[in-house]
């Protein structure tokens, strides 16, 4: 179930009560603490007759150990439902914890190299996003850093689709410009990579193009004028629509490279994926070029006789307008660091749905282009 719109947050208590009278609220360390949204959520739960405990130790790039700690907190609370609130990290931890709660064992049991099957339903999970980008509230995957491999791993199962998503754009109104930019760029990357995925269909194409159009219309405005409710509403819808697309198609090489960069250098997920997106698009031109012309028209309505190259340029211009970094050198990555990101990139399942095969040498070539700012 998806509840969308301003005021939807008020229904969190009634939705949690559907699954039980004891809940664990999962959130980040700072954004939702104290008198913030986590406190409001607990009040809504209490008003509905749901007793809530809180796990607020989610870090920006959450590890398997954090998920394990969250599972322990859920057991200690006797939780019958887990409610995640925040950005992608708290939602991913909450989702994975709900899964491991019923699976048993440790989180790393379900990551490489062991990769035990996720073969049963999780504890009921409700996702409430406070950013517009990850769409973790409606997807079946959680990105969790493996302690043994020191790389971010996408854990996924059809069982892990949240029971309820509460998408209230008002919860994103207080996002600062930099967070708005990088989470919005994440939504763009989801939509664009879903659009050209090997598993794309006419249905996912329609969803992805609508999300790209919404990003082009509203993201820059949300960054420059965060108090504009139309821009916030548009980006919340863009994020959710992109999620509906890539939940069915998977993503691509920009995510594979982005996960490796985030693991190795602590670069926020949206920033990392957006940095690689134009370079991966250039690499994919020979496999998906016709679709990139449609991307150009979605981002720049009125553009006539668009070419595939125009799609790459439109994406690059938007990311530059948002103030996001354009090269790896710009964020302090040294050229000699590039080969170390190859193993993490190749481990990513997102490469399977990239429209063009990516070898280790191909990945290194994209990294070098992204470091120096070169173009194909």
Domain of residue 121, CATH code: 3.40.50.1970
Domain of residue 223, CATH code: 1.20.1090.10
Looking at the structure, tell me whether residues 317 and 185 fall in a common domain. yes
Looking at the structure, tell me whether residues 241 and 179 fall in a common domain. yes
Mean pLDDT on 185-206: 98
Looking at the structure, tell me whether residues 126 and 200 fall in a common domain. no
Looking at the structure, tell me whether residues 196 and 339 fall in a common domain. yes
Looking at the structure, tell me whether residues 151 and 179 fall in a common domain. no
The Cα-based distances of 304 to 293, 296, 313, 336 in angstroms read 10, 10, 14, 42
The rounded distance, in Å, linking the Cα atoms of 363 and 361 is 5
Looking at the structure, tell me whether residues 207 and 291 fall in a common domain. yes
239 closest CA partner among 134, 334, 155: 134
Looking at the structure, tell me whether residues 151 and 219 fall in a common domain. no
Which of 119, 139, 171 is at the close of a domain? 171
Q: Are 153 and 191 in contact (CB under 8 A)?
A: no
Q: Is the pLDDT of residue 31 over 70?
A: no
pLDDT band at 30 (very low <50, low <70, confident <90, very high): low
The rounded distance, in Å, linking the Cα atoms of 337 and 345 is 13
Which of 116, 139, 171 is at the close of a domain? 171
What pLDDT, in 10s, does the model give residues 48-78? 999 999 999 999 889 999 999 999 999 999 9
Sign (positive or negative) of CA dihedral 364, 365, 366, 368: positive
pLDDT band at 14 (very low <50, low <70, confident <90, very high): very high
Looking at the structure, tell me whether residues 123 and 187 fall in a common domain. no
Q: Are 295 and 315 in contact (CB under 8 A)?
A: yes
User: Percentage of the chain surpassing pLDDT 90?
Assistant: 89
Q: Are 145 and 92 in contact (CB under 8 A)?
A: no
Looking at the structure, tell me whether residues 361 and 265 fall in a common domain. yes
Strand partners, 51: 22
Average pLDDT over the chain, rounded to an integer = 94
Range of the domain at 246: 173-372
Mean pLDDT on 113-137: 95
Secondary-structure breakdown of the chain: helix, strand, coil percentages, each rounded to the nearest 5: 60, 10, 30
Sign (positive or negative) of CA dihedral 57, 58, 63, 65: positive
Looking at the structure, tell me whether residues 107 and 215 fall in a common domain. no
Say how many domains are in the chain.
Answer: 2
pTM for this structure?
A: 0.93
Looking at the structure, tell me whether residues 49 and 90 fall in a common domain. yes
Which of 171, 196, 216 is at the close of a domain? 171
Looking at the structure, tell me whether residues 155 and 184 fall in a common domain. no
DSSP designation for 159:
G
Q: Count CB atoms within 10 A of the CB of residue 203.
A: 12
The rounded distance, in Å, linking the Cα atoms of 283 and 357 is 10
């Amino acid at each position: 179930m998806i509840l969308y719109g301003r005021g939807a947050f008020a229904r969190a208590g009634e939705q949690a009560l559907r699954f039980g009278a004891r809940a664990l609220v999962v959130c980040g360390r700072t954004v939702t603490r104290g008198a913030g949204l986590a406190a409001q959520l607990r009040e809504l739960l209490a008003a509905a007759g749901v007793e809530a405990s809180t796990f607020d130790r989610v870090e920006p790039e959450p590890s398997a150990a954090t998920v394990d700690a969250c599972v322990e907190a859920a057991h200690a609370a006797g939780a019958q439902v887990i409610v995640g609130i925040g950005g992608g990290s708290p939602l991913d931890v909450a989702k994975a914890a709900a899964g491991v709660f019923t699976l048993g064992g440790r989180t790393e049991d379900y990551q490489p190299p062991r990769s035990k099957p996720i073969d049963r339903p999780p504890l009921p999970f409700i996702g409430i996003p406070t950013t517009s980008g990850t769409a973790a509230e409606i997807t079946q995957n959680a990105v969790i850093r493996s302690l043994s491999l020191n790389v971010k791993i996408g854990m996924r199962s059809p069982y892990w689709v949240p029971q309820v998503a509460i998408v209230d754009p008002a919860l994103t109104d207080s996002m600062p410009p930099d967070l708005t930019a990088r989470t919005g760029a994440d939504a763009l990357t989801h939509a664009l990579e879903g659009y050209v995925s090997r598993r794309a269909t006419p249905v996912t194409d329609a969803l992805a193009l609508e999300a790209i159009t919404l990003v082009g219309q509203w993201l820059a405005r949300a960054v420059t004028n965060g108090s504009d409710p139309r821009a916030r509403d548009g980006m919340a819808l863009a994020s959710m629509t992109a999620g509906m697309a890539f939940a069915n198609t998977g993503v691509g090489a920009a995510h594979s490279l982005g996960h490796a960069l985030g693991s190795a250098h602590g670069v926020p997920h949206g920033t990392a994926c957006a940095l690689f997106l134009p370079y991966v698009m250039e690499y994919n031109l020979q496999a998906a070029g016709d679709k990139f012309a449609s991307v150009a028209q979605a981002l720049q309505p009125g553009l006539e006789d668009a070419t595939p190259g125009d799609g790459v340029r439109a994406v690059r211009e938007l990311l530059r307008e948002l103030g996001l970094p354009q090269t790896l050198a710009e964020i302090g990555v040294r050229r000699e660091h590039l080969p170390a990101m190859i193993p993490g990139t190749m481990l990513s399942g997102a490469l399977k749905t990239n429209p063009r095969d990516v070898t280790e040498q191909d990945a290194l070539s994209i990294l070098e282009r992204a470091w120096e700012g070169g173009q194909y």
